[in-house]
Amino acid sequence: MSDPNDLTSPIDEGVTAEDLGRVLFIGVGGVGMNGLTRLYATRGLPVSGSELKDWPSLPELERLGVTIHREHVASNLDGVDTVVRSTAHNDEHLEVAEARRRGIRVYHRSEALAAAMTGRRSVVVTGTHGKTTTTAIITQMLEHAGLAPSYVNGGENIGAFTGAHGSGDLFVAEADESDRSFLRYRPEVGIVTNIDVDHLNTYGDMESLTEAFERFCRNTDKDGLLVLCADNPGTLGLAKKLRAEGRTVATYGFSDGADVQLGDVESSVDGVDYTVLYEKQVLGRFHLPMPGRHIALNSTAAVAVGLYLGLEPEDIAAGIAAFSGVKRRFEKRGEKDGYAVFDEYAYHPTAMTEAVKTLKEVAGDGRLIVVFQPYRAYRTIAMREEIAAALSLADRVVVMEIFGPGEDIPEGEGGQALLDAIVLHADDKVFVPEWDDVPAAVRALASEGDVVVTMGAPPVSLMPDDLLR
């Protein structure tokens, strides 16, 4: 029986992005594919894309010379050498099937991203949650230091785009563990933020999930660096195991044994301040212009990377202080009738708990109202109690129906079941299955001085526009 973690990579064969010729990206508007397409385009490579939705990122791609096809048809493949698809586009998708019929190379997005890394010093970030923010902090720290990295992130950096071709030899990327595609990368620096229960539809159990993360670590250059969180049992266990085998490992976190340790954390609406120590020696007082202890935690992974690459502590601190944020991570979208509206991506209960705690700090004397759209039926059912516990930390909650493309929600297992598990007074929680009814439900719950946050599945990021009308 073959090992599901044994994924080949274009890097193993020395295949570069330039070797792929004329490339068609399917679903080019989505954040992940958009960033990779932009990277290819800014390298001056011939790129086209197909997309049905009118994503706001498309005009920028067209400005870069990307041909956008607004439908999925066979003629999109004329003159194309390589088709790039995501996991969402299976072999039955019209363009994928046509590419197979014509004998055109078909790459998964992860393979096209790996090809773009070939010959570069790559820094790859993965983990159950926290990887997008960590990737963004590392990228902007390196940019601030003048190292001009190339990068592809799973979220859009505020003030920048999701993919960019830098002039330096460093490449920073977020790696998706949900479908094992992160096992196609061969980084010099591999970072794992945490290993928590998730994606069991792919892995089946925690043992298999942990084995995949261990393989990611082993795919990292033996002469490179592994950066693992000391606060998470899964990553700490890997750190001890790999260090015993002679691997170079840097741990980070609040824990006393962490190589890069943070403490004296002060978080407010203006950001978070904290002290960083490296091997028990104080590096200095750091500041991030975003609130939250977990954001500070993410930044200490960046400190480990910066030290490995030879940056001075003051340059690392300056780069972190210049961080402009990531869309859908504590992103303030506006104000309405005296209450603030934020948007936050968190849907895993661990990330949700930290997000709710931080937003409660932002709310101060006001109340925190969470508008939550659950993401995937299998996850919501398996983690119902944990998700409900995170939402119970808020003052009031609006629960939408589960967003699960291609999934059937079992009867009695949808959003109402999640609402019932939330420990709040009946007047402080409501199930609103219809999108158009959510703004009225929020207006009935929110008052001047409150904070409203839309949280969860990607479609809910569009809800702030409706709330602010």
Tens of pLDDT, residues 133-170: 899 999 999 999 999 999 998 655 555 556 778 889 99
Q: Are 130 and 189 in contact (CB under 8 A)?
A: no
User: What is the predicted pLDDT for the residue at 137?
Assistant: 93
Strand 281-288 and strand 271-278: the pairing is antiparallel
Q: Are 50 and 27 in contact (CB under 8 A)?
A: yes
User: Predicted confidence band at 224 (pLDDT cuts at 50, 70, 90)?
Assistant: very high
> ∠ CA(342), CA(270), CA(268), 5° rounding?
90
Strand 451-456 and strand 396-399: the pairing is unpaired
> Considering the chain, what is the average pLDDT of its residues?
91
Tokens 């975003």, residue located: 290
User: What is the predicted pLDDT for the residue at 57?
Assistant: 81
Spatial separation of the C-alpha atoms in residues 243 and 224, rounded to whole Å = 12
User: Predicted confidence band at 331 (pLDDT cuts at 50, 70, 90)?
Assistant: confident
- Alpha-helical regions (H) of 149-205: 200-203
CB count within 10 Å of CB 318 equals 16
Summarize the confidence of residues 359-384 as an average pLDDT: 89
Q: Are 172 and 149 in contact (CB under 8 A)?
A: yes
Q: Are 392 and 328 in contact (CB under 8 A)?
A: no
DSSP letter for each residue of 327-380: TTSSEEEEEETTEEEEEE---SHHHHHHHHHHHHHHHTTS-EEEEEE-B-HHHH
Q: Backbone phi, then psi, for 119, in 5-degree steps? A: 85, 0
Tokens 């830098």, residue located: 166
User: Predicted confidence band at 389 (pLDDT cuts at 50, 70, 90)?
Assistant: very high
Tens of pLDDT, residues 106-119: 999 999 999 999 99
Q: Are 215 and 183 in contact (CB under 8 A)?
A: yes
In terms of residues, how long is the chain?
469
Provide the token pair at 286: 């750091």
Tens of pLDDT, residues 337-354: 888 898 988 888 888 898
Question: pTM for this one?
Answer: 0.81
Q: How many CA atoms lie within 13 A of 426 on its CB side?
A: 0
Residue 30: CB partners within 8 Å, gap ≥ 6? 55, 86
Tens of pLDDT, residues 122-132: 999 999 888 88
Report DSSP state, residue 311: -
Tell the burial category of 165 from Cβ atoms under 10 Å away from its Cβ (0-12, 13-18, 19+).
Answer: buried
Which of residues 161 and 243 earns the better pLDDT score?
A: 243
> ∠ CA(22), CA(28), CA(80), 5° rounding?
20
User: What is the predicted pLDDT for the residue at 327?
Assistant: 64
Annotated catalytic residues are 131-132, 174
| Residue whose C-alpha is closest to residue 356's, from 388, 326, 381, 334 | 388
Sheet holding 189-192, edge to edge: 163-164, 150-152, 170-174, 121-126, 189-192, 225-229, 249-253, 260-268, 271-278, 281-288
Summarize the confidence of residues 385-403 as an average pLDDT: 94
Provide the token pair at 7: 């994924």
Least confident window among 57-61, 68-72, 91-95, 346-350: 346-350
User: Predicted confidence band at 1 (pLDDT cuts at 50, 70, 90)?
Assistant: low
Spatial separation of the C-alpha atoms in residues 168 and 30, rounded to whole Å = 26
Spatial separation of the C-alpha atoms in residues 214 and 240, rounded to whole Å = 12
328 dihedral zone (left: phi>0; alpha: psi -120 to 50; beta):
left
CA–centroid distance for 165 within its chain: 19
Q: Are 136 and 153 in contact (CB under 8 A)?
A: yes
Spatial separation of the C-alpha atoms in residues 155 and 149, rounded to whole Å = 17
User: What is the predicted pLDDT for the residue at 111?
Assistant: 96
Which of residues 161 and 426 earns the better pLDDT score?
A: 426
CB count within 10 Å of CB 284 equals 12
> ∠ CA(452), CA(373), CA(175), 5° rounding?
105
